[in-house]
Structure 1
């Protein structure tokens, strides 16, 4: 499982909504949510943004180097 999968599942459960309801709110199918939560599929940033909105949370993207260090800001 990847971080995205765990976060989506955790936030959805904290909100007390089903995969089907999250899918409706995010404009996708329940099967897509299931694949994301199981780590079998990585959502596009656009879909992840809709999922975040449906879960009433904010999507923040951070780029890091492959070594895990944050890149310097300009």
Structure 2
């Protein structure tokens, strides 16, 4: 029974699991929303009212339970007086809301 360590053979690179990518994107989206909401000093209820969503919807997004869609990003960006910024990759810092210039 030979293992990689005794034979010094590297395993073949695995393709990224699409489900893990979706989870990381949802978490990045939730963190970005939470960060901007806190920056503005808004409660979950206030953001829900501004965006036309429910408190449960906002909480679900902030907890990483909602995949970002373009329509949802636009709706929340308008409610947060911000633009959505995306970078390549799927890490937590890959999505953020950038405030509009004054």
The TM-score, its normalising length taken from structure 2, stands at 0.55
Higher RCO by CA contacts (8 Å cutoff, separation 6 or greater): 2
List 4+ stretches of structure 1 deviating above 4 A.
Answer: none
* Alignment: residue pair count: 65
5+ residue gaps in structure 1?
67-74
Q: Which has the higher strand share?
A: 2
The alignment's C-alpha RMSD in Å is 2.1
CA deviations on 1:23-57 (whole Å, 9 max, x unpaired) are: 11111111000000000122432122111111110
Structure of larger gyration radius: 2
The TM-score, its normalising length taken from structure 1, stands at 0.74
